[in-house]
């Protein structure tokens, strides 16, 4: 991890360690194949910038509590689901220098894994009555999906204006 990321992470390093355990627990299943694939995903995680932003924001605005950990897990679960789905859509065989889920387990399983991760995040919020968080994130996912579909539509027709281009970029950046 880069020195800059480590400096950013320093004030919340303990929170990130706790998050790692909670995040891994949030993906547990009674289905062995699901556990095998989610363990594969967790071992190849990225820098986890989104959870860091959640913890840093919470720390700036008050305190880090159980709700903060759930918000960080929800954001990371949704982000991971979108990456798995994106690899299927883009027919990508690699993610962060390793085989993508769809490359190892095929598209059908990868789509279902992405759906599973999405549902785990939604249930985490619902089970804890985090309705405002769920509402905010649901709007972000809707915007992101619309941006992706708008990009696909415009790429096919090649009639993209500058205004639509910036609309696509704005919508696609919702969870990133």
Residue 64 has pLDDT above 70, yes or no: yes
pLDDT (0 to 100) of residue 71: 94
The CATH number covering residue 73 comes to 1.10.600.10
- Which neighbouring-strand residues pair with 57? none
Domain residues for the domain of 137 are 130-176
Give me the number of domains the chain comprises: 2
pLDDT (0 to 100) of residue 1: 57
Tens digit of each residue's pLDDT (9 = 90 or more) over 139-174: 888 888 888 888 777 777 666 777 777 776 776 665
What values do phi and psi take at 95, rounded to 5? -145, 120
pLDDT (0 to 100) of residue 110: 96
Reported pTM:
0.84
Is residue 99 classed as helix, strand or coil in its secondary structure? Answer: strand
Q: Domain check: are 144 and 84 in the same one? A: no
Tokens of 40: 């594969």
Tens digit of each residue's pLDDT (9 = 90 or more) over 75-128: 999 999 999 999 998 899 988 888 999 999 999 999 999 999 999 999 999 999
Q: Domain check: are 103 and 80 in the same one? A: yes
Is residue 28 classed as helix, strand or coil in its secondary structure? Answer: coil
Q: Domain check: are 101 and 44 in the same one? A: yes
């Amino acid at each position: 991890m880069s020195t800059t990321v480590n400096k950013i992470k320093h004030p919340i390093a303990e929170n990130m360690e706790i998050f790692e355990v909670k995040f891994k627990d949030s993906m547990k299943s009674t289905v062995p194949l699901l556990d095998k694939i989610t363990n594969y995903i967790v071992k190849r995680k990225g820098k986890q910038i989104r959870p860091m932003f959640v913890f840093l924001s919470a720390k700036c605005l008050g305190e880090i509590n159980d709700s903060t950990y759930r918000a960080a897990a929800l954001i990371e679960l949704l982000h991971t689901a979108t990456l798995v789905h994106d690899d299927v859509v883009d027919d990508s065989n690699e993610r962060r220098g390793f085989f993508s889920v769809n490359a190892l387990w095929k598209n059908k399983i990868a789509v279902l894994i992405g759906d599973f991760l999405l549902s785990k995040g939604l249930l985490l919020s619902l089970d804890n009555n985090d309705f405002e968080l769920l509402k905010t994130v649901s709007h972000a996912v809707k915007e992101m999906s619309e941006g992706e579909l708008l990009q696909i539509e415009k790429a096919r027709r090649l009639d993209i204006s500058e205004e639509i281009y910036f609309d696509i970029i704005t919508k696609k950046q919702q969870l990133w």
